[in-house]
Chains A and B, each alone.
Chain A
Amino acid sequence: MKKMKSSVVALAMSLGVVGAVQATDLTIATVNNGHMVEMQKHSSSFEAANPDINLKWVTLEESALRQRVTTDIATKGGQFDVMTIGMYEAPIWGAKGWLEELTFSDAYDIDDVLPAMRGGLSVGDKLYAAPFYGESSMIMYRKDLVAAAGMTIEDNPSWGHIRDVAAAINSPEDGVYGICLRGKPGWGDNMAFLTTMANSFGARWFDEDWKPQLDQPAWAHAVTFYIDLLTKYGPPGSSSNSFNEILALYNEGKCGMWIDATIAASFVTDPKQSKVADQVAFAQSPVAVTNRGANWLWAWSLAVPAGTQKSAEAQKFIEWATSKEYIELVAKAKGWGSVPTGTRTSTYNNPKFQNAAVFADAELKAILSADPDNSTLEPTPYTGVQFAAIPEFQAIGVAVGQQISAALAGKLTVEKALEQAQKAADREMRKARYYK
C-alpha cells in the first residue's frame, strides 16, 4: 500500500512538472521593420518573466502580412495569436468584431498613450489595437543646401515656398535634386502622401453622400502641382519611388527635401546609415489652403484576433510590448535614440530621449497636430487622414494611385488620370452599394 501511495505521489509530481514546463505557444505575425526586429530580440525578457508563454515569430513582407492576417481573421484560421496591423485596419476590423477589445492593468497607464493614437485605434471607447510605434509626416531637409541658397523653411510653409526652395537647391549636375516625394502606385505609397497634399489643397475623397470627389478642382490643383514639382525638381524615375527608394537617395545625399513618415528621421540622422546625418533639419508639413490633414497619422500596432484560444496570453504580451517598461528596456540595450516613438507622452517628456533624438519635438508636434476625425476642409463621412477608413478604400487607393503614377511618368495627362480615377472610385462605391 505504501509503495502504491508513493507511486501515486511520484506520478502526480511528474504530471505537475510536465504541466509546469508546458508553455503556451504564442504566434506573432509581424513585419520586418527595425523596431519590430528589436522586439524579437527582447523576446527572452518577456519569456523569462512569463515562463508559461513561448513566443513564436512570423515575419512577413508588408503586403503578404496584410493578405495573410486578413485571410486568417476572415476564415478564423487561428494561425496567429497576435497580429501587427495598421491604423487603417484597426477601426474597420474592430467594428466588424474581428478583433478582441484590449483591456490593460492600471500599471499600463493608458492615459500616457498619445490621444491621437488611442483614438485612431479605437471604435467608440473600445481600444482594439495598441500602438507599438507611431508616425506622422513632416519635411526633412538639408539645412546646408537651404542655407547656401539663402533660404529658410519654417513650420507649415506654403507649397509655393517649397517649390521655390526646391528650385533654388536643385542641382542635378551635382547629383542633388530639389525634392523627393513618393510616386510608386499604392494606397500606402503615393496615395498616402498625395492624400495629405490634396487635403491641404482643400480636396477630399468623398462628399457626405459618399460620392467620390476626384473630379473636383482641388484634386486637379494638387495633382498638377505635385507632378510639376517632381518633374522639374525631382529625381528621375520618381514614379517608381516609395519610402525605401527615397530613403536610399536621401542617405546618399541626393535629395534636398523629403516629405515623408517621421520614422525616417531616425534613419536619416543615423551616421551609420546616412552620409548627411548631421545636415538634416525638420519642419512641419507644407500647406496650401488649409493645414487640416496636411500630415498623416499612422501606427504599427498589435492586436488580438477574435476567436484565438490564447487571448489572455496575447493581451499580456501586448501589454508588455507597448509598455513604458519595454521602451526603457530598449533604451538600456540600444540607447534612447533607438526606442519606439510616436506612442507615449512619457517618451517625449524624457530628457534622455530629447537629447538623443534631434527629431523628437518635430515628430511629436506632427503627431499631435494630425486629426483623423477632422482632416479635410469640407465635411466628410469618413475618418482617417491619408486614407478613408472604409474597406473599399484599399482598392480605390490602388486604382487612383496607378493613374496618378502613370501621369507622373508622362503616360497620361492629369485630366485624363483623374477622370479615370474618378470612374474607378465611382465603380467601387456603386459595387459596394454606397449609392445606386
Chain B
Amino acid sequence: MNLTLSQRKKVSTWSLGLLSWIVALVIFFPILWMVMTSFKTELQAISTPPLFMWEPTLENFSVVQERSDYFKYAMNSVITSFGATFLALLIAVPAAYSMAFSPSKRTKDILLWMLSTKMLPAVGVLMPIYLLAQSTGLLDNVFSLIIIFTMINLPIIMWMLFTYFKEIPKDILEACRMDGASTFAELRYIVMPLSWGGIASTGLLSIVLCWNEAFWSINLTAADAGTLTALIASYSSPEGLFWAKLSAASTLACAPIVVFGWFCQKQLVQGLTFGAVK
C-alpha cells in the first residue's frame, strides 16, 4: 500500500499517540488498581481472577477514618512537606546563586559531592540520627522530620536551581550591578523573577518528594508526628487480609498530593522542561 507523505505523517502521529496512551496506561495502572481495590471487600480484593465489575463499598474508608485519625496524619504531612520545602529553598536559593554567578575552582566538585550524599543508603545513618533526635528531645516531633527532609532534598534542589540560574544571562546582572544594586537586590529583583518558573517547579518537586518519604517518617515518629506514609504502613498485617483497607489508606494518602499536582501541573511541566528564561 502506497501512502502519501501527509498520510504517512498522520499514521505516524496516530501511532505515536496510541503508544503514548498505552505507556501512560501501563504507568497509571497500579494507581488505578489501588483505587479500585479500595472500593472492594477483603474477599473481593483477593479474588482470582481479579474482579473488574463489582458492587463498590465505602466500608474501607470508614474503617480507616474510624481506626486512625486521618486528618492528624494529613496535617503532619502538610506541615513537614511545606516546612521542609520552604527551609530548603531558603538555603538553596542563595547557595545556588553564589555557585552560579561566582563560581570557584571547586564549585563543580562541591556540587558533585552534594549529589553523592544522595547515594548513601538512609539506613546507614539511622542510628546516629535516631540518637541525635533522642538526645535533643525531637523524637516523634515534626521539627525533626522537617530538618531531615530539608537535608535529604537539598542536593536535588541545589542542582535544579543551579541549572536554572546558570541560564540567566550574566549581562543582565552586570547591568544591574552598574546601576548600584546590592547582591540581595540582584537576587530579589532580577534572579528570582527571571527564574520563578524553575523555583516553583523545584519547590513542587520537593513537596512531592517530602510527601512520599516513608523511611524516616516510620522510624522517627510514634503517636504524634506520624505522616500519611506512616499511616499506610500501619495497615500492613502479618496475619490477616488487609489489601482493601491498605488500598483505602493509600488512596486517602495519595489523594491530596495528586490533586495538588493536578492544579500545579502547568508550572511543574513548564519549569521542568523549559528551564529558567526560555
Interface set of A (CB-CB < 8 Å, partner B) = 25, 27, 29, 31-34, 37, 40-41, 56-62, 64, 67-68, 71, 75, 77, 79-80, 188, 243-244, 247-248, 251-252, 254, 261, 263-264, 267, 272-275
Q: How far is the CB of B126 from chain A (nearest CB, A)?
A: 8
Contacts of B235 on A, CB cut-off 8 Å? Answer: 32, 59
Consensus secondary structure, chain B interface: loop
Smallest Cβ-Cβ distance to A252: which chain B residue: B48
Stretch of B84-92, B145-153, B178-186, B239-247 with 4 or more beta carbons under 8 angstroms from chain A: B239-247
Q: Enumerate the 9 nearest inter-chain pairs by beta-carbon distance, A residue then B residue, closest first.
A: A59-B234, A56-B223, A248-B46, A62-B238, A61-B236, A32-B237, A79-B222, A58-B222, A61-B233
Q: How far is the CB of A385 from chain B (nearest CB, A)?
A: 18
Tell me, in angstroms, the Cα distance from A246 to B1 when the chains sit together: 55
Whether B234 and A61, one on each chain, are in contact in the complex, defined by CB atoms closer than 8 angstroms, is yes
Whether B46 and A32, one on each chain, are in contact in the complex, defined by CB atoms closer than 8 angstroms, is no
Whether A60 and B218, one on each chain, are in contact in the complex, defined by CB atoms closer than 8 angstroms, is yes
Instruction: Confirm or deny: B140 has a beta carbon within 8 angstroms of a beta carbon on chain A.
Output: yes
What per-residue 1/0 map shows which CB atoms of B188-230 lie under 8 Å from chain A? 0000000000000000000000000000001100111010000
Contacts of B172 on A, CB cut-off 8 Å? Answer: none
Whether B130 and A33, one on each chain, are in contact in the complex, defined by CB atoms closer than 8 angstroms, is no
Whether A247 and B241, one on each chain, are in contact in the complex, defined by CB atoms closer than 8 angstroms, is yes
Whether B241 and A40, one on each chain, are in contact in the complex, defined by CB atoms closer than 8 angstroms, is no
Q: Indicate which residue in B46, B127, B223 contacts A58 across the interface (CB closer than 8 Å).
A: B223
Whether B239 and A33, one on each chain, are in contact in the complex, defined by CB atoms closer than 8 angstroms, is yes
Whether B222 and A247, one on each chain, are in contact in the complex, defined by CB atoms closer than 8 angstroms, is no
Smallest Cβ-Cβ distance to B224: which chain A residue: A56
Q: How far is the CB of A347 from chain B (nearest CB, A)?
A: 18
Whether A261 and B47, one on each chain, are in contact in the complex, defined by CB atoms closer than 8 angstroms, is no
Contacts of B218 on A, CB cut-off 8 Å? Answer: 60-61, 64, 68
What per-residue 1/0 map shows which CB atoms of B32-63 lie under 8 Å from chain A? 00000000001100111000000000000000
Whether B241 and A248, one on each chain, are in contact in the complex, defined by CB atoms closer than 8 angstroms, is yes
Tell me, in angstroms, the Cα distance from A75 to B128 when the chains sit together: 11
Q: How large is the interface on B (under 10, 10 to 19, 20 to 34, 35 or more residues)?
A: 20 to 34
What per-residue 1/0 map shows which CB atoms of B130-143 lie under 8 Å from chain A? 11001000011000
6 contacts across the A-B interface (CB closer than 8 A): A31-B238, A33-B237, A58-B234, A61-B218, A77-B130, A252-B47
Contacts of A251 on B, CB cut-off 8 Å? Answer: 43, 46, 241
Known: A64-B219, A75-B131. 12 other contacts (CB 8 A): A27-B223, A59-B234, A67-B219, A71-B126, A71-B219, A75-B127, A75-B134, A79-B222, A247-B240, A248-B46, A263-B239, A273-B42
Contacts of B47 on A, CB cut-off 8 Å? Answer: 252
Instruction: Confirm or deny: B67 has a beta carbon within 8 angstroms of a beta carbon on chain A.
Output: yes
Task: Assess A243 versus B239: contact at CB under 8 Å? Given A60-B218, A252-B46.
Answer: yes
Contacts of B42 on A, CB cut-off 8 Å? Answer: 273
Tell me, in angstroms, the Cα distance from A380 to B233 when the chains sit together: 38
Q: How far is the CB of A63 from chain B (nearest CB, A)?
A: 9
Q: How far is the CB of A250 from chain B (nearest CB, A)?
A: 10
Tell me, in angstroms, the Cα distance from A188 to B236 when the chains sit together: 16
Tell me, in angstroms, the Cα distance from A103 to B226 when the chains sit together: 33
Whether B234 and A75, one on each chain, are in contact in the complex, defined by CB atoms closer than 8 angstroms, is no
Whether B241 and A244, one on each chain, are in contact in the complex, defined by CB atoms closer than 8 angstroms, is yes
Q: Indicate which residue in A57, A71, A272 contacts B130 across the interface (CB closer than 8 Å).
A: A71
Tell me, in angstroms, the Cα distance from A61 to B236 when the chains sit together: 5
Contacts of B127 on A, CB cut-off 8 Å? Answer: 71, 75
Contacts of B46 on A, CB cut-off 8 Å? Answer: 248, 251-252
Whether A60 and B223, one on each chain, are in contact in the complex, defined by CB atoms closer than 8 angstroms, is no
Contacts of A58 on B, CB cut-off 8 Å? Answer: 222-223, 226, 234
Q: How far is the CB of B46 from chain A (nearest CB, A)?
A: 4
Q: How far is the CB of B181 from chain A (nearest CB, A)?
A: 51
Contacts of A57 on B, CB cut-off 8 Å? Answer: 223
Contacts of A56 on B, CB cut-off 8 Å? Answer: 222-224
Q: How far is the CB of A418 from chain B (nearest CB, A)?
A: 27
Smallest Cβ-Cβ distance to A260: which chain B residue: B239
Whether B236 and A79, one on each chain, are in contact in the complex, defined by CB atoms closer than 8 angstroms, is no
Q: Which of B130, B224, B233, B241 has the most A CB atoms < 10 Å from its CB?
A: B241
Tell me, in angstroms, the Cα distance from A37 to B234 when the chains sit together: 11
Q: How far is the CB of A300 from chain B (nearest CB, A)?
A: 9
Q: How far is the CB of B71 from chain A (nearest CB, A)?
A: 16
